[in-house]
Amino acid sequence: MTLKSRSKIVDLLKGGVVGTEVTAKGWVRTRRGNKNVAFIALNDGSTIHNIQVVADVTTFGDDFLKDVNTGACIMVVGQLVESPGAQQPVEIQAKNIEIYGKADAATYPLQKKGHSLEFLREIAHLRPRTNTFGAVLRIRHAMAYAIHKFYNDKGFFYLHTPIVTASDAEGAGAMFRVTTLDIENPPRSEDGKVNFTEDFFGKETNLTVSGQLEGELGALALSEIYTFGPTFRAENSNTPRHLAEFWMIEPEMAFYDIEDNMDLAEEFLKYLTSYALEHCKDDLEFLNKMWDKELIERLNFVASNKFVRLTYTEAVDILEKADQKWEFPVFWGADLQSEHERYLVEKHFKKPVILTNYPKDIKAFYMKQNDDGKTVRAMDVLFPKIGEIIGGSQREENLEALTTRMAEMNIPQDEMWWYIDTRKFGSAPHSGFGLGFERLLLFVTGMSNIRDVIPFPRTPNNCEF
């Protein structure tokens, strides 16, 4: 039996020709029946839906069919017929079944009963076979494709920024070190410190926290670029919103000011939301039914509403006047927390919100300062249920302003000479933002824990698989 003869289950259910002989391959979800007939629910991952295989017990025998149980991988050849049941339009009347791989019923972890998400994280190597994670991973693929399509269609260039880097874009210091030195006995300089000049790269290096700084270099030559790759934060954070390894989409655009930046962010998020609604209908309906009854309504809400734009100062004024008890106090200069962001979106405006002009003291060194000397042209996009989903800014293109700010924030200019060079030679106004891919997926899938929207989550004390 050749691969060419195999039909994907999604194609059989949507457009299979009744009366033809078909071949399906996949994993058994359930088997039920009586002494005369067995009904096998088969799934190959191409769709949330199973196809029903009807097998005559006298043809195949009880001894054979007992191995066609939950978790087993099989090939089925048979006739595609109309299904008398309301669950599916067609089913397969089996003529031949071949078992590719058995699954011991006593030890296979994914039995027909429901499983908690916490348990499924412990068996992340098998959880893609569940309906929930099959849906999440198909949506993850669709969103990755949509991201590339959006930027390609707009004429952006996909730039691959380094994963190993000597720079810290955030200035946070929460980075994973990359080294080939002997950790038991590293070489040391005269002052007793580790001598990284003897390391592989001749200097101290880390896994990247962001491709932004290198992305700016690309934008100041190609005009409009985007990055889409893995990033790493060595923060000992165990919240449902944080991972140590995650993916980021970071467009950088020459000649864009903060208004252009906000326009692009809004267009981008509406495009992705609409794409999910159009292309992931079955998976979204399943997740809406099983995990979040307001999911599809919330996606339509974002796709159809113009985002509200206001300054950080205006937002603080609204929050201070709100009849709310805050876990974290609100005052001008405070970094807004998720509870504040969600209040603005879900209760006050009842629309997605873009905040601008944040205090410079809570933002990064590369953000362009406003004339007031207190704020920078930063922007955060706030979504229902999530809070901040995008963070970005107009970048500081003025050499003197940039180096002054770097000195104020103790950013080592000698190590950032290449970044400063772009302000010396043909500097230009430019802007950009970052979208955490897994944050986006939390919103699009309705899942409540970020560990459940990435195939193999990396968190403190967890690096299995």
How does pLDDT run across 337-346, given as a tens digit for each residue?
999 999 999 9
Specify the pLDDT at position 118.
95
Averaged pLDDT of the chain = 95
* Residue 3: band (very low, low, confident or very high) from pLDDT cuts 50, 70, 90: low
**Mean pLDDT value of segment 312-335:** 96
Provide Rg for the chain, Cα atoms. 27
Specify the pLDDT at position 172.
55
pTM of the full structure: 0.95
Specify the pLDDT at position 271.
98
- Cα separations (Å) of 58 from 52, 62, 95, 106, 114? 18, 8, 12, 26, 32
How many residues in total does the chain contain?
465
For 140, half-sphere exposure in the C-beta direction (CA atoms, 13 angstrom radius) is: 20
- Cα separations (Å) of 237 from 126, 221, 460, 461, 464? 26, 37, 7, 11, 17
**Mean pLDDT value of segment 356-361:** 97
Residues 249 and 36: their CA atoms lie apart, in Å, by 55
- First and final C-alpha spacing in the chain: 33
Residues 357 and 354: their CA atoms lie apart, in Å, by 10
What is the share, in percent, of the chain residues with pLDDT greater than 70?
Answer: 98
The model's pLDDT over 133-182, given as tens digits with 9 standing for 90+, comes to 999 999 999 999 999 999 999 999 999 999 999 876 655 558 999 999 99
* Residue 191: band (very low, low, confident or very high) from pLDDT cuts 50, 70, 90: very high
Instruction: Give the β-pairing of 157-158 and 245-254.
Output: unpaired
Specify the pLDDT at position 169.
61
**Mean pLDDT value of segment 223-251:** 94
Specify the pLDDT at position 111.
84
Phi/psi of residue 367, each to 5°?
Answer: -85, 140
Which letter, b or e, does each residue of 150-178 get, where b requires 16 or more Cβ atoms within 10 Å of its Cβ?
bbeeeebeebebeeebebbbeeeeebeeb
For 27, half-sphere exposure in the C-beta direction (CA atoms, 13 angstrom radius) is: 19
pLDDT for residue 23 is more than 60: yes
**Mean pLDDT value of segment 252-275:** 98
- Within 10 angstroms of residue 348's Cβ, the number of other Cβ atoms is 16
* Residue 46: band (very low, low, confident or very high) from pLDDT cuts 50, 70, 90: very high
With 0-12 CB in 10 A as exposed, 13-18 as middle and 19+ as buried, what is 333?
A: exposed
**Mean pLDDT value of segment 211-222:** 97
* Residue 237: band (very low, low, confident or very high) from pLDDT cuts 50, 70, 90: confident
What is the share, in percent, of the chain residues with pLDDT greater than 90?
Answer: 91
pLDDT for residue 244 is more than 80: yes
pLDDT for residue 130 is more than 70: yes
* Residue 113: band (very low, low, confident or very high) from pLDDT cuts 50, 70, 90: confident
**Mean pLDDT value of segment 370-377:** 96
